[in-house]
Amino acid sequence: MITDQQTNFTKQINALKSNLESVIFGKTECIDILIMSLLAEGSVLLEDIPGVGKTTLAKALAKSINLEFHRIQFTPDLLPADILGSSVYNPVSGSFDFRQGPIFSNVLLADEINRASPRTQSALLEAMNETQATIEGKSYKLHKPFIVLATQNPVDFHGTYPLPEAQLDRFLIKLDLGYPEQDFEVNILQSFNQRHPIEQIKPVLEMEDILSMQQAVRDIRMDESISQYIVSIVNQTREDSRLKLGVSPRGALMLSRASQACAFLERRDFVMPDDVQRLARYVLPHRILLTSKSQYDGNSKPKIIDDAVSSVKVPT
């Protein structure tokens, strides 16, 4: 039975989708996955070539929610203190006062994250995993909800540093936007002719709305057979000879939560195997590492994940 609260959630989600689709054309699946990540309390890594709308999509999501938003442009000379904050001397009181960095926000856009040094990239590790930051020996709780939207160019581009495995594992989802289809690209040229569509976006969600939906996602029922299904898929990657690193337990947890968010968007109160299969290709590939031989043989991470999913018996 659909409750009034569920009906209200659906209206709010549709308004959010409408906002995002007004600036990113022809990427309905990417928009759905991004919303699922928000509801599953997970961070998102948007990777693709420059100019396909990664930053625009992240900004549109932030503008659609009435939350505190900060953007950091990652550069080679960026320091951890530029993200976390630091103590500044106060000549009036003669003491050092702590000034919060941009990480103290609800939505943090880490633009071109792989252009910063590994030392600076690691400043986000604790925040993404524990929703807190330890600065100068003191721990600070971050605002809730908290989500990192990071964009990056492919690692073989000039001036980029590959993200370490420990950081990749903290991203719930990795999305590739790709080029728009020709008809949609014509629409882009027309819509951007006079002004940027993102200027017309107004907030459609409040903090309380997001927190309520995130709690509703946690309440989605997951049968033990579905949990067994997820663990079996994950174990396939750990036993695959083509891989030198399989999916971590954190990856299994994140696939479970993402599947709950998928069921929520489908207006169901339980998870189905279809949810797991749909989300596996977004949640798992960036968590595995191929052996050198496997790379030379032409294997890809998405294909290996698809093989793992297809090799496991689907629960009924």
Report the C-alpha gap between 115 and 158 in whole angstroms: 9
Contact call for residues 34 and 175 (beta carbons, < 8 A): yes
Task: List, in sequence order, every residue forming a beta bridge with 140; answer none if it has no partner.
Answer: 133
Question: Two tokens at 233?
Answer: 């898929």
pLDDT of residue 230: 97
Q: What are phi and psi for residue 94, nearest 5 degrees?
A: 70, 20
Q: The dihedral of CA 301, 302, 307, 312: what is its sign?
A: positive
Q: What are phi and psi for residue 9, nearest 5 degrees?
A: -60, -45
Task: List, in sequence order, every residue forming a beta bridge with 152; answer none if it has no partner.
Answer: 47
The ranges of the chain annotated as CATH 3.40.50.300 are 1-183+204-218
Report the C-alpha gap between 221 and 218 in whole angstroms: 8
pLDDT of residue 275: 96
Determine the length of the chain: 316
Report the C-alpha gap between 111 and 72 in whole angstroms: 6
SS3 at position 23: coil
CATH: 3.30.930.10, 3.40.50.970, 3.40.462.20, 3.40.50.300. Which one for 1-183+204-218?
3.40.50.300
- Residue 59 amino acid letter: K
- How many C-beta neighbours within 10 Å does residue 164 have? 12
Q: Quick check: bond before 76 cis, omega within 30?
A: no
The ranges of the chain annotated as CATH 1.10.8.80 are 220-316
H helices of the chain, in order, are: 4-21, 28-39, 54-64, 80-84, 118-121, 125-130, 165-168, 182-191, 207-218, 224-239, 249-265, 273-283, 292-296, 301-310
**Chain Cα centroid distance, residue 158:** 24
Query: Could you tell me the pTM of the whole model?
Result: 0.89
Intervals of the chain under pLDDT 50: 1
Task: From residue 251, give the alpha-carbon distance in Å to each of 29, 234, 242, 254, 292.
Answer: 21, 8, 19, 5, 23
Report the C-alpha gap between 271 and 137 in whole angstroms: 41
Strands 138-141 and 132-135: antiparallel
Q: What CATH number labels 220-316?
A: 1.10.8.80
pLDDT of residue 301: 93
